[in-house]
Amino acid sequence: MPNPDQASQPHMWVDEYGDFLFRYAVSRLRDVNSAEDVVQQTFLAGLKHFDQYSGKGSMRGWLLGILKRKIIDFVRERRRTSQQASDEAGNPFDQVFDRNGRWTKESASTIRQPMDSLEREEFWPIFRQCLEGLPPRQADVFALREMDDLSTEVICKELSISPSNLWTQLHRARLRLAICIKTRWNQDHS
């Protein structure tokens, strides 16, 4: 491990922090090309604002903070340019609720079944596949809320959406994830 002074030198960043930042970005954006772009933007912003690094925290943490901001910017831009149709393709409500808005008999029990197996290794690949299958806007708000643990206020401000729109997007994302996980779980375990 290099000494801290070496790791804080910009010419060492790619070797020291590149893999970590890239894995973080891929886990949030679910796209290798987009992850590469935001990591590259992170390094460029770090170089541009290197004089602002106070040295109080770790260089890795400072760069991660920049990356998180770049991811939010990317999500915001993707949201602006995405088509409304991709968000509305297919309605998971029809598969889970009856005409009166109540859970169908089989939905309430079957959707919860794989969630009892969170500790199982086979759950997480299924979860990742299902997360990648969400419409981009839903995947973004889900990742920001559930994976990055950002507050409603922060997400709404950053994405310029209302709290009710955020709740709707999260609700739809959770329903789609539940349906997808259940479907894939049954395919893999039947």
Q: How confident is the model at residue 8 (pLDDT cuts 50, 70, 90)?
A: low
Residue 168 and residue 76 in one domain: no
3-class SS of residue 109: helix
Instruction: Name the residue type at position 111.
Output: I
For residue 77, the model assigns a pLDDT of 84
| Claim: this prediction has a pTM higher than 0.85 | no
Q: How confident is the model at residue 120 (pLDDT cuts 50, 70, 90)?
A: low
Residue 92 and residue 65 in one domain: no
pLDDT, tens digit (0-9, with 9 covering 90-100), for 16-69: 999 999 999 988 888 888 999 999 999 999 989 888 888 888 999 999 999 999
For residue 66, the model assigns a pLDDT of 94
Full residue range of the structural domain in which residue 145 is found: 85-188
Residue 104 and residue 134 in one domain: yes
The whole-angstrom separation of Cα 44 and Cα 38 is 10
Task: List C-alpha distances in Å: 49 to 13, 39, 42, 114.
Answer: 14, 15, 10, 46
Answer with the one of 81, 111, 145 that is the final residue of a domain: 81
What is the tally of structural domains in the chain?
Answer: 2
Residue 181 and residue 90 in one domain: yes
Answer with the one of 81, 100, 135 that is the final residue of a domain: 81
